[in-house]
């Protein structure tokens, strides 16, 4: 996805760039391409970004550790503040540092990367607790075969010891 040079938005009709997309995003593992619609409007002090997107992702269930497919969906808008000092490393005292911590700012002469924005939104939309839609049962403590034979071996050793003591 191509980044948008912010000054170009000023020349766009209604200062808006709008497009549809269907592509895989770098860094985000999805089963299907991310499909959706994005709109960016220049609002003098901020960019009004709106996006709708969906993709299928494969998640691992927190409880049974099985993999399952999940439809990841976003429909969100966010103001991205334009700040001429955003591309300068110096000039900021405490107040400015605090401001940058709270909100994301872009330089009005810089670029907006829609792919990166979508990536962040989709990551935020990932469920905190990932649970499959059953049948979902916690796996038996470790794999059954090895643990049972492990217990058997310990048990056999104990039996042998008992016999030694009693005999
Ligand atoms: Zn499960």
Where exactly are the structural domains of the chain? 4-136, 139-167
Query: pLDDT digits over 38-67, tens only?
Result: 999 999 999 999 999 999 999 999 999 999
Query: In which band, very low, low, confident or very high, does the pLDDT at 151 lie, cut at 50, 70 and 90?
Result: low
Q: Ligand 1 centre from 68 Cα, in Å?
A: 8
Half-sphere exposure of 112 (CA within 13 A, CB side): 30
Q: Ligand 1 centre from 62 Cα, in Å?
A: 7
Q: Ligand 1 centre from 60 Cα, in Å?
A: 8
The answer to whether the pTM exceeds 0.75 is: no
Q: Ligand 1 centre from 80 Cα, in Å?
A: 38
Q: Ligand 1 centre from 131 Cα, in Å?
A: 5
Evaluate if residue 95 carries a pLDDT over 60.
Answer: no
């Amino acid at each position: 996805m191509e980044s948008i040079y912010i000054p170009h938005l000023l020349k766009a009709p209604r200062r808006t760039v709008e497009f549809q997309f269907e592509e895989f995003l770098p860094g985000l593992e999805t089963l299907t391409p991310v499909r959706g619609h994005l709109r960016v409007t220049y609002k003098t002090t901020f960019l009004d970004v709106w996006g709708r997107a969906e993709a299928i992702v494969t998640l691992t269930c927190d409880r049974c550790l099985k993999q399952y497919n999940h439809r990841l969906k976003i429909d969100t808008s966010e103001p991205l503040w334009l700040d001429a000092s955003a591309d300068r490393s110096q000039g900021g005292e405490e107040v400015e540092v605090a401001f940058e911590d709270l909100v994301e700012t872009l330089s009005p002469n810089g670029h907006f990367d829609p792919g990166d924005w979508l990536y962040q939104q989709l990551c935020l939309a990932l469920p905190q607790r990932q649970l499959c839609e059953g049948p979902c049962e916690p796996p038996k403590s470790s794999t059954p075969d090895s643990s049972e034979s492990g217990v058997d071996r310990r048990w056999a050793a104990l039996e042998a010891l008992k016999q030694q003591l009693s005999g």
